[in-house]
């Protein structure tokens, strides 16, 4: 099953290695990992998306919680997740395909960040599924290069996760 | 030096003194020399090991006997990597040690400098936590934090790596920071509701059994366990690490369970309807195949580490916290169980399945019997292998920090240096006890240079090499599972361990009969010196019981 694990931790050198090591030694390939600052100066938050056996992931969650710099770990349930992902897509826009691509851009609520000659760089933000479908639609055309940030997530509701 | 200023190295030594460190086991090198400079005039005694691995095991042995954090010190690069086996050994057995390593100057880190190694990177998976020091003013708070981490919650090793330039640099003492650990709050007190649930399960059980593990040892819960056992009348078995959690000859102690467990102990697990596991992690050497493990039993698991709950076996009532804190509360809630059928069954099993005995010629059980008679109050330290299982099955110890062995990692070479550390630790306590090493010729050879350390420190030690010229456990495994294939277990009789000992300044004995062995042990006991007894085993035999099949009762006796 796919899990979205959120980790609040001290913003210190080496924390990432300690965290990722717990996944890699059990043979888990991390699907995406994002890390960034939070409302607290000295803390960062990781969002890790990983596929794997539930009981093994529960063991990893407990081991993560044992790391000295980790304050708290959540395995966010899918029903209560607010997730966003960001992507940049560079695409070749020939005059004959131009209007089709523009339609996709409108439908996917994408934005054009740069257009240089026949090449446009688009920005898509949304749920992982929304970003995937936008990329899927655009893959009919000539994507030159693309990148995704990976998921960032918080739990719904008033509680501070 | 100007007033109010210190150097990193001085600050380190001062912080160690403040934490009550009396002894450091170490080895010098280029990158940790500033620390040796600062140790000049300190109250801390330095013991020079002859290999950094030895220093780490000594710190471990010291920690296991005293319950205090053991400290070892090495230089950068190879010095640091030599500590790794010792650190991993301490990690697997939750032994609190602090390893301090010198590092190349901070300006050279990452440049493949001479004797540079990323020791914090290497030791992430085998330490509870580690530090690469960035500035001299953080050394003192980091040392305090490291001691707290090593010695609280589930104990374990912590490493501090300090670049040489930071050790030498001056800083203003008033700038020292304080440590904050927001993400580390070990649970100590057991949840009262869970304790009540456990008591109710105990009340309703018919075939209950207690498993005592290394957690009893690390939380010094020996008395609390004894009260619990005696008030409840529940039979007890133990893991390898839990051997000294209760007197070996206590009536309700059915001994070691697991792969080499006693038949009665394994019977207790297989037939139990309730297991009360205390400070044990259901390691694979104990449980055997998980699919058949204690199928009829509900499990109460008392452990300080929440990550151990339901890791290997599924637990019915977990109680997270310190055994020392939980056991008295649980004891209050239980009353004496009337379970005569259950006790009779176990006692009958004990009678029907005695351990194999040695014959007239000297055997491992025979030698262990002599040790038991001559030195009944010993702290026993073992190495790893067949003799270790013999020691776990045949030796008697008193409850307490009296049986030291490398359980989790199974580190050959652990025994001798651990015995050195154990003796240093024992001498620092109110009650000094004799320390007896039970080793094999394979493991003893791996770290035999530490005889020199023992001699230099004038340590009275009885170092027994049960010499069968072979890697016994390997031979046993090959015979049992590999058709006695490729002959790799034969070590030959090249080494005369008595002469080796004498060449290093110790007393050496070579014995070939039980009488000679007993005389040598008595001589060693009265000599007050470091004595090596090369005990030639004439009647070589494998160690049984041994589980060979699908559950803990599918075994060879």
Structural domain contains residue B88: yes
Instruction: Name residue, tokens 């070590």.
Output: B491
When the pLDDT of each residue in chain B is averaged and rounded to a whole number, the result is 96
Q: How far is CA B443 from CA B188, B364, B467, in A?
A: 37, 16, 10
Domain boundary among A46, A76, A106: A76
Distance CA B388, CA B362 (A): 17
Domain limits for position B236: 192-352
Verify that A112 and A55 share a domain, yes or no: no
The pLDDT tens digits for B33-66 are 999 999 999 999 999 999 999 999 999 999 999 9
Q: Nearest-CA distance from B182 to chain A in Å?
A: 6
- Which residues make Cβ contacts (< 8 Å) with residue B299, sequence separation at least 6? B274, B275, B277, B313, B314, B315, B316, B317
Contacts of B157 in chain A (CB under 8 A): none
**Within this chain, do residues A71 and A89 fall inside the same structural domain, yes or no?**
no
Query: Per the CB < 8 Å rule, is A59 touching B307?
Result: yes
Q: Show Cβ contacts of residue B29 under 8 Å, excluding neighbours closer than 6 positions.
A: B74, B75, B76, B77, B79, B102, B115
Question: The domain spanning residue B313 has which CATH number?
Answer: 3.40.50.1220
Contacts of A24 in chain B (CB under 8 A): none
pLDDT of residue B173: 85
Residues A22 and A62 in one domain: yes
- Is residue B11 located within the same domain as residue B77? yes
Exposed e or buried b for every residue in B267-305, given b needs 16+ CB within 10 A?
bbbbbbbbbbbbbbbbbebbbbeeeebbeebbbbbbbbb
The pLDDT score that the predictor gives to residue B359 is 85
- In chain B, what percentage of residues exceed pLDDT 70? 99
Confidence bin at B3 (pLDDT 50/70/90): low
Residues A72 and A90 in one domain: no
Q: Are A68 and B129 an interchain contact pair (Cβ–Cβ within 8 Å)?
A: yes
| Residue B231 and residue B165 share a domain | no
Six-digit token string for B271: 């037939």
Could you give the number of structural domains in chain A? Answer: 2
In this predicted structure, the answer to whether residue A19 has a pLDDT above a threshold of 90 is: yes
Q: Do A17 and B124 touch (CB under 8 A)?
A: yes
Q: Which residue of B has its CA nearest to A71?
A: B183
Residues of B in contact with A68 (CB under 8 A): 128-129, 149, 181, 183-184
Q: Do A138 and A100 fall within a single domain?
A: yes
Instruction: Tell me, yes or no, whether A63 and A16 share the same domain.
Output: yes
Looking at the structure, do residues B24 and B171 belong to the same domain, yes or no? Answer: yes
Picking from B133, B182, B306 by the largest number of A CB atoms within 10 A of its own CB, the best residue to mutate is B182
Work out the pLDDT band at A160, boundaries 50, 70, 90: low
In this prediction, residue B292 has a pLDDT band, given cuts at 50, 70 and 90, of: very high
Eight-state DSSP code of residue A29: P
User: In this structure, is residue A101 part of a structural domain?
Assistant: yes
Minimal C-alpha gap between A18 and chain B (Å): 7
Measured distance CA(B153)–CA(B160) in Å, rounded:
19
In contact, B359 and B539? CB cutoff 8 Å: yes
Which bin fits A62, alpha (ψ -120 to 50), beta or left (φ > 0)?
A: alpha
The pTM assigned to this predicted structure is 0.95
* Structure confidence by residue, pLDDT tens digits, A84-112: 999 999 999 999 999 999 999 999 999 99
- The residues with which B510 forms a beta bridge, in sequence order, are B534
Segment B354-384, tens digit of pLDDT: 999 988 899 999 999 999 999 999 999 999 9
- Which of A37, A57, A76 marks a domain boundary? A76
Nearest-angstrom CA–CA distance, A87 and A125: 6
Evaluate whether B336 touches B483 at the Cβ level (below 8 Å).
no
Q: Are residues A127 and A148 in the same domain?
A: yes
* B184 located within any domain: no
**A52/A108 same-domain check:** no
Same domain membership, residue B453 and residue B410: yes
User: How far is the CA of B255 from the CAs of B251, B285, B406, B425, B551, in angstroms?
Assistant: 10, 15, 18, 27, 18
Residue B187 lies in a domain: no
- Residue that terminates a domain, selected from A76, A95, A111: A76
Catalytic residue flag (residue B164): yes
| Residue B519 is assigned to a structural domain of this protein | yes
Looking from the CA of B167 toward its CB, the CA atoms found within 13 Å total 27
What is the structure's pLDDT at B241? 98
Angle at B111 between CA B106 and CA B115, to 5 degrees: 75
Q: How confident is the model at residue B228 (pLDDT cuts 50, 70, 90)?
A: very high
The CATH number that applies at residue A41 is 3.30.70.260
Based on the domain organization, do A57 and A100 belong to the same domain?
Answer: no
Q: Is residue B501 part of a domain?
A: yes
Which of chain A's residues have a Cβ under 8 Å away from the Cβ of B305? Answer: 66
* A89 and A122 co-located in one domain: yes
Per-residue confidence (pLDDT) for residue A159, from 0 to 100: 65
**B interface toward A at CB cutoff 8 Å?**
120-121, 124-125, 128-129, 132, 149, 181-184, 305-307, 311
Q: What is the dihedral of CA B471, B476, B481, B487, to 10 degrees?
A: 40
pLDDT(B244) > 60: yes
Does residue A59 share a domain with residue A7?
yes
- Residues of A within an 8 Å Cβ radius of B: 9-10, 13-14, 17-18, 21, 25, 59, 62-63, 65-72
For residues B2 and B273, the model is more confident at: B273
- Out of B331, B352, B373, pick the residue that ends a domain: B352
- The confidence score (pLDDT) of residue B224 equals 98
Last residue of a domain, one of B320, B352, B384: B352
Number of separate domains in chain B:
3
Residue B341 maps to a domain: yes
Residues B101 and B153 occupy one common structural domain: yes
What does the pLDDT look like over A110-132, one tens digit per residue? 999 999 999 999 999 999 999 99
- Is B40 a domain residue? yes
> Is residue B545 included in any domain, yes or no?
no
Q: What is the pLDDT of residues B62-89, one digit of tens each?
A: 999 999 999 999 999 999 999 999 999 9
* Residues B123 and B207 grouped into a single domain: no
- Residue A159 lies inside a defined structural domain of this protein: no
pLDDT digits (tens, 9 = 90+) for B391-406: 999 999 999 999 999 9
Say if residue A90 is in the same domain as residue A125. Answer: yes
Residue A49: its pLDDT value, please?
A: 94
CATH number at residue A125: 3.30.70.1150
Contact check, Cβ <8 Å, A62/B132? no
B536 shares its domain with B394: yes
DSSP conformation letters of B92-129: HTT--EEEEEEES-GGGTTS--TT---HHHHHGGGSSE
Q: In chain A, pLDDT over 90 holds for what percent of residues? A: 78
Candidate from A10, A66, A70 with C-beta closest to B307 = A66
User: Do residue B183 and residue A17 have CB atoms under 8 angstroms apart?
Assistant: no
What's the rounded Cα separation, in Å, for the pair B270 and B276? Answer: 14
pLDDT band at B483 (very low <50, low <70, confident <90, very high): confident
Torsions phi, psi for B517 (to 5 deg): -65, -45
Measured CA to CA, the distance from residue A5 to residue B256 in angstroms comes to: 40
- Report yes or no: B381 and B415 within 8 Å, Cβ to Cβ: yes
Question: Has residue A36 been placed in a domain?
Answer: yes
Q: What's B23's domain CATH number? A: 3.40.50.970
Catalytic residue among B5, B17, B18, B114, which?
B114
pLDDT band at A78 (very low <50, low <70, confident <90, very high): confident
Output the average pLDDT for chain A. 92
- Is B538 assigned a catalytic role? no
Q: DSSP alpha helices (H): ranges in A67-126? A: 98-107
The question of whether B427 is a catalytic residue gets the answer no
Each residue of B321-356: pLDDT tens digit?
Answer: 999 999 999 999 999 999 999 999 999 999 999 999
Is the pLDDT score of B2 beyond 70? no
In B281-356, alpha helices (H): 284-287, 323-333, 340-352
Q: Are B369 and B299 members of one domain?
A: no
Q: What is the pLDDT of residues B432-444, one digit of tens each?
A: 999 999 999 999 9
Do residues A65 and B307 touch, judged by C-beta distance below 8 A? yes
For residue A158, tell me if it sits in a domain.
Answer: no
Among B183, B307, B311, the residue with its CB nearest the CB of A69 is B183
User: Rounded to an integer, what distance in angstroms lies between the CA atom of residue B412 and that of residue B443?
Assistant: 5
Rounded to the nearest angstrom, the minimum Cα separation between B151 and chain A is 14
CB-CB contact of A48 with A30 (8 Å): yes
Same domain, B475 and B381: yes
Same domain, B84 and B214: no
Residue range of the domain that includes A27: 2-76
The reply to whether A161 falls in a domain is: no
């Amino acid at each position: 099953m796919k899990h979205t694990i959120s980790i609040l931790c001290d913003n210190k050198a080496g924390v990432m290695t300690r965290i990722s090591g717990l996944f890699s030694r059990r043979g888990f390939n991390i699907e995406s990992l994002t890390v960034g600052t939070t409302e607290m100066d000295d803390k960062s938050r990781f969002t890790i998306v990983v596929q794997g056996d539930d009981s093994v992931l529960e063991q990893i969650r407990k081991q993560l919680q044992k790391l000295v710099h980790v304050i708290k770990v959540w395995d966010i349930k899918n029903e209560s997740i607010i997730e966003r992902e960001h992507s940049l897509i560079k695409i070749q826009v020939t005059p004959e395909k131009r209007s089709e691509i523009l339609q996709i851009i409108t439908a996917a609520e994408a934005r054009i960040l740069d257009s240089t000659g026949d090449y446009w760089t688009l920005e898509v933000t949304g749920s992982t599924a929304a970003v995937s479908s936008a990329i899927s639609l655009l893959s009919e055309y000539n994507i030159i290069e693309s990148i995704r940030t990976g998921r960032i997530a918080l739990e719904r509701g008033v509680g501070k996760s | 030096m100007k007033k109010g200023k210190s150097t990193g190295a001085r600050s380190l030594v001062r912080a160690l003194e403040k934490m009550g460190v009396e002894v450091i086991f170490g080895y010098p090198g280029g990158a940790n020399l500033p620390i040796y400079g600062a140790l000049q005039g300190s109250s801390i005694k330095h013991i020079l090991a002859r290999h950094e691995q030895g220093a780490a095991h000594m710190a471990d042995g010291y920690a296991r006997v005293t319950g205090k954090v053991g400290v070892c010190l090495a230089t950068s690069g190879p010095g640091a990597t030599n500590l790794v086996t010792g650190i991993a050994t301490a990690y697997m057995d939750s032994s609190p040690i602090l390893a301090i390593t010198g590092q190349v100057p901070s300006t050279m880190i990452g440049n493949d400098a001479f004797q540079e190694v990323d020791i914090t990177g290497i030791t992430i998976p085998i330490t509870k936590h580690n530090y690469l020091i960035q500035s001299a003013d953080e050394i003192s708070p980091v040392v305090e934090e490291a001691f707290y981490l090593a010695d609280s919650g589930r104990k374990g090793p912590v490493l501090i790596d300090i670049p040489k330039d930071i050790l030498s640099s001056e800083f203003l003492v008033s700038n020292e920071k304080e440590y904050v650990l927001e993400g580390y709050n070990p649970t100590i007190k057991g949840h009262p509701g869970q304790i009540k649930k456990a008591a109710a399960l105990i009340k309703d059980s018919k075939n209950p059994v207690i498993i005592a593990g290394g957690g009893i040892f690390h939380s010094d819960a020996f008395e609390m366990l004894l009260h619990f056992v005696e008030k409840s009348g529940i039979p007890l078995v133990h893991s390898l690490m839990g051997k000294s959690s209760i007197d070996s000859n206590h009536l309700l102690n059915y001994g070691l369970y697991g792969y080499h467990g006693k038949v009665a102990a394994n019977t207790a697990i297989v037939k139990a309807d309730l297991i009360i596991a205390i400070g044990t992690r259901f390691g694979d050497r104990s449980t055997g195949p998980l699919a058949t493990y204690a199928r009829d039993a509900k499990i109460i698991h008392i452990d300080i580490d929440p990550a151990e709950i339901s890791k290997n076996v599924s637990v019915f009532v977990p109680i997270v916290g310190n055994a020392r804190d939980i056991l008295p509360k649980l004891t209050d809630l239980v009353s004496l169980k009337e379970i005569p059928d259950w006790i009779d069954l176990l006692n009958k099993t004990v009678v029907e399945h005695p351990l194999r005995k040695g014959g007239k010629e000297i055997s491992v059980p025979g030698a262990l019997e002599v040790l038991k008679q001559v030195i009944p109050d010993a702290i026993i330290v073992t190495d790893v292998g067949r003799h270790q299982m013999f020691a776990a099955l045949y030796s008697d110890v008193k409850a307490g920090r009296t049986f030291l062995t490398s359980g989790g990692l199974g580190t050959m070479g652990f025994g001798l240096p651990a015995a050195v550390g154990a003796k240093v630790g024992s001498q620092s306590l109110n009650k000094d006890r004799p320390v007896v090493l039970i080793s094999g010729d394979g493991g003893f050879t791996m770290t035999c240079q530490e005889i020199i350390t023992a001699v230099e420190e004038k340590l009275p030690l009885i170092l027994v090499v049960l010499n069968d010229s072979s890697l016994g456990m390997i031979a046993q495994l090959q015979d049992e599972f590999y058709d006695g294939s490729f002959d790799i277990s034969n070590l030959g009789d090249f080494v005369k361990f008595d002469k080796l000992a004498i060449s290093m300044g110790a007393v050496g004995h070579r014995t070939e009969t039980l009488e000679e062995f007993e005389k040598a042990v008595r001589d060693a006991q009265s000599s007050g010196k470091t004595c090596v007894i090369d005990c030639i085993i004439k009647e070589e035999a494998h160690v049984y019981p041994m589980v060979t099949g699908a559950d803990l009762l599918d075994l060879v006796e």
